[in-house]
């Protein structure tokens, strides 16, 4: 029979593991679903479309913007290629169905971030913050990169940018 000390150590170890699991789960962004299984790789690498083609405010806005129905309709009024998902997209567009993409990357409300400053002015490339999103075959359910204060500060340090709290926080 285990001693009282062994039971306490086992209970402590179990509590630590449970706490670590809870912290991991709580720190993960909720899963995000999209209206269609958008293939970034097909559009960015194969077709050579830049991010700004679908994310129209990436150079000038606070937020990059999500593709509008009309953007998809430029090419997908008729089915493109052999993909069942591209055919489904064409059917959705022909039926006049709403097409609302959901934001994958989110920052807390107290963070003052603009794409205009980082992409338009500083000329940062999208993979710096969004990882290999352009190489995905279907929409990820969670961000590929965890953007937190340490992530941002390491970039600011490396580029000699302000680390003053009020530069990024409201």
- Encode pLDDT of 26-39 as tens digits: 456 679 999 999 99
User: At a CB cut-off of 8 Å and minimum separation 6, what does 45 contact?
Assistant: 134, 135
117 domain residue, yes or no: yes
* 96 domain residue, yes or no: no
79-112 pLDDT per residue, tens: 888 889 999 999 999 999 889 999 999 999 999 9
Check residue 79 and give its pLDDT: 86
Does residue 82 lie in a domain region? no
Please give the tally of structural domains in the chain: 1
Per residue in 115-162, pLDDT (tens digit) is 999 999 999 999 999 999 999 999 999 999 999 999 999 999 999 999
Answer whether residue 110 is part of any domain. yes
* Exposure letters 116-142 (e unless 16+ CB within 10 A, then b): bebbbeeeeebeebbbebbebeebeee
| Within-domain flag for 60 | yes
Instruction: Report the mean per-residue pLDDT for the chain.
Output: 88
Residue 86 lies in a domain: no
Burial of 114 (0-12, 13-18, 19+ CB in 10 A): middle
Q: What is the mean pLDDT of residues 36-63?
A: 95
Query: Which one, of 108, 114, 144, 111, lies nearest residue 129 by Cα?
Result: 144
pTM comes to 0.77
32: helix, coil or strand?
coil
Q: What is the pLDDT of residue 26?
A: 41
Residue 18 has pLDDT above 90, yes or no: no
**DSSP assignment of 33-98:** --SS---HHIIIIIS---HHHHSTTTTTSSS-----HHHHHHHHSS--SS-HHHHHHHHHHHTT--
């Amino acid at each position: 029979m285990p001693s009282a000390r062994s039971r306490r150590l086992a209970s402590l170890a179990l509590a630590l593991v449970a706490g670590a699991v809870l912290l991991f789960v709580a720190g993960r962004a909720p899963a995000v679903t999209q209206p269609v299984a958008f293939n970034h790789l097909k559009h960015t690498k194969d077709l050579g479309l830049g991010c700004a083609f679908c994310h129209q405010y990436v150079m000038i806005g606070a937020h990059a913007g999500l593709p509008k129905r009309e953007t998809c309709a430029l090419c997908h009024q008729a089915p493109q290629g052999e993909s069942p998902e591209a055919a489904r997209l064409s059917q959705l567009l022909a039926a006049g169905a709403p097409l609302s993409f959901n934001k994958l990357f989110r920052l807390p409300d107290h963070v003052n971030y603009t794409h205009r400053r980082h992409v338009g002015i500083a000329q940062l490339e999208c993979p710096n913050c969004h990882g290999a999103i352009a190489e995905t075959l279907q929409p990820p359910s969670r961000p590929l990169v965890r953007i937190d204060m340490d992530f941002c500060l390491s970039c600011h340090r490396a580029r000699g940018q302000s680390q003053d709290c009020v530069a990024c926080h409201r």
